Structure 1
């Protein structure tokens, strides 16, 4: 089933496994019911439930290619339609299944909560309330006119159908517990990282000011003193030359401070977004930069800032250390924002290089809900990749695959 389900690979691991468990449970129930039917238990209730299960499986399979473009919402819609069909058809054929089918109508809401926005949650809430009430009413209406009153027929249908619902509910509970544990561990780790990254940022800023603007300002003060002495001695031509040099130094300091301010937070990033800010950065780079941008739109400030500063840090490292002849920066907006920075420089051995800069980039990306990977080796260049979850209408992010 790997091929037909490859569209689910872009989803969050928990959602992906839930869909596969649901599909597996439905398939198992369908096979069991079909075997029972083939053995001679050919009753209308079994036939209806078989048709409903097959249709539910088809709906689940249809979501796979749609997830490549639409992500988690496509999976949730498919799961909702499949659940409603299963609940309505199962209740119509076998009213005694109503406790299970009522539960099934609530599954899309429980599954979708971490992955879709507020409006989706409201809609799924309506589906859960109206659907469960409708299924309960349908069961009561159909109970006197049950398709088959033989107890063993109902028992066979329940035994074949129950595992699907139980498997989904058990997985939901286990997944919720696992997520709480992971979030607790990540919170402890993030506290340590915040302190380390803040200290590294302060050291970097102090170093840039000391080695750059501060040294130039000291040199300018010396030039001013020399110009004053030239004027006092009546050597106006020498003073004019020194003042000209002073003006040039002043322009360089202003440019350097402007670049430093842009490095702290560029106004272009806020005003026009990630692509415009990177275009400006690429034009100023001393190493030729090629930008490859596809389907990138404005996203949250946190994600844009994380992507921008990681790319900026990577370009700075290329300029200072990589001895590269070119850099290629790739940005993709679908199915979620991702980037890569690839250079043809000398690369490096990660075991022999301080991880301070990479630690800061990883912390930024992790705070935005994404992940960062680095590929490098001596003589093979460096590739930095980052991925971020998709934005949701409520300002939160869709979780994404964080598996290594």
Structure 2
């Protein structure tokens, strides 16, 4: 697959026009003009080279009832014109996807990660990229026609990530510090590489292709082995001056004697992560053989010690959510994670604690729970590639 050339976007206005078509299309020129403040002539000027280059299709098909006699020309991106690879890194496995230009997953693969050493991870990342590209070439997806260009590869990792430099400053789960992951992977695959925090990547995907398309503000809180939070405020995903923002998993709301994987004491994660809940249930019940599913089953069966562990987690998560909503004021919070739909055990406690601590009208913030898979995490990494490619941000 050939590498995608630079998009024919001469001005910031052209970037804004393409972004509208990508995230809200099919959309008429008149609607783009209304939403961006540009004239229809300016919109047409921005669109023309994109249509000529095959990234956008112009398909007049209807009439605008508000403007007598004038046909509507809805604009859409050609989804198969550009592909992106996204990979989610976990301590035991790499999850990779190939998406089209609208971040629809077309191909998915995974690869076991036997250890978390940087060399092992980089070698297997390069192998997985090769396998994904081969799957495109030999498959029958819309990306396999030979006309699709690859924008680049996105890699999402938990922890403190400098996305601009492509450096993993600290990932407690992977045991990495100051790892120039972007540069090292680029050396192996010779493709543009975007490295970002996994929760922020998930937030980018929701911003451009999910709930963020029509929301003025939102937050995504992920619950799993760690607890993360991504924020979309004032028209964009919050990056933070130092690349760190929304880390509610490390608010000091838990008992001071509990040590977090980050090395600090009393973090929310020490009580509310899935690992912390399982450890507490094992300790209190004396059943070291339990896995998380077993702990959930035990709590559902009414075991008081298991239920107490989930109750405590829900109390701390709800308090953390209230603190975040009091500070940032999103209109919607999505609580997500692998198997999070099974966590009805602490849903009531989360909502009760949130209501107890949310200040004033912040209590009106909608809380919703949604499960997702590791492929969704990988899709987030692909979405960061698409966004950087459209915006001509590094490494493009």
Shorter chain as normaliser: what TM range? under 0.3
Structure with higher RCO (Cα < 8 A, 6+ apart): 2
Q: TM-score, normalised by structure 2?
A: 0.25
| Larger fraction in strand | 2
Select the structure that is richer in helix: 1
TM-score (norm 1): 0.25
